[in-house]
Structure 1
Amino acid sequence: MEIILKQDVDNLGNKDQIVNVRPGYANNYLIPQGYATAATPSAKKVLAEKIKQQAHKEAKMVADAQAVADKLAGVAVAIVAKAAEGGKIFGSVTAAQVADAIEAKGFQIDKRNVKVDAIKQIGEYKAVVKIYKDIKAEVAVSVTAEAAAETPAAE
């Protein structure tokens, strides 16, 4: 029996996929649980139209994400951190700090999409920002030491 999956089912298939299963498995488990519907000719036509529309939306999302990635690739951000004399940072620069610096440049990104190695020294680094699925952009990150405030000497 052919069915159309409404959601991913382990060891069977993914959402919007047409699969063949035994009639008992389909009628007694998959369809009543809401995991699938029967693959009638009209349901197949609806599925084909849905897949066509999703492909169009996906292409637009990829194009938009690629445009953002191209703009973001030329961006360099500077982060100021407290550091010791040797250039070692107190703590480390996190992905959230890099994300905030990128957002200050006018880009809307989520800190969970920023991947950066442990930054524990003053210097130049690269951060990878995931824009959409396989589209990523590298951002130059410059970490500088915070200027020490002059304190008057006690007399």
Structure 2
Amino acid sequence: MATRKLILNQEVDRLGAAGDVVEVKAGYARNLLIPRGWARPWSAGAEKDVQALRKARQARQLADRDEAIALKEKLEASTARIEMKAGKGGRLFGAVTPALVAEALTAVVGHEFDRRQVALTGHVKSAGTYTATVRVHDEITANAKFAVIGKA
């Protein structure tokens, strides 16, 4: 099995963050990571770019960490509301998605969240109160509460 050494241009789930040097199967690199611009081939010259990226990211993370802690506290103190069409017994027509939760949290907290930052435990298909895990920072996650309200 041939592997390729790559430098990630952005965060890739279950692989690494921007600037990380990873080894992946050649087909994964050739068919997905490189064409989508998520990674570039590793070279000695590119390794210097990686070092500069890491230094910049570390400096940014130190400043962002304090903001992330404050944002985590705001998220855990508030409850977002999501209104969806529901039938009898509170059963929803459709399911609550991470994108809907991210949108509701953005409205409550005032900070822009992406659907990839939100992780739901299981399928949410009925009205009630739930908890989602929100990745606020590389090392900081918050347990955000949201209420699903069924409307006729």
- Output the TM-score relative to the length of structure 2: 0.61
- Superposed, which structure 2 residues align to 1:4-153 within 5 Å? 8=21, 10=23, 31=44, 34-36=45-47, 55-105=58-108, 106-116=110-120, 117-146=122-151, 148=152
Distance 1:121-1:8 versus aligned 2 partners, 3 A rule: same
Q: 1:57 Cα shift?
A: 3.5
User: Distance in 1 between the 2:56 and 2:148 partners?
Assistant: 45
Kindly indicate which of the two structures has a greater share of residues assigned to helix: 2
Query: What stretches of structure 2 of length at least 5 have no aligned partner?
Result: 1-18, 24-42
Larger radius of gyration: 1
Kindly report the root-mean-square deviation, in angstroms, between the aligned alpha carbons of the 2 structures: 3.1
Aligned length: 114
Identity %: 31
- Contact 1:88 / 1:121 at 8 angstroms: preserved in 2? yes
Q: Could you tell me how far 1:52 is from its partner in structure 2?
A: 7.1
Shift of 1:74: 0.9
Gaps spanning 5+ residues in structure 1: where?
1-5, 11-29, 38-46, 149-155
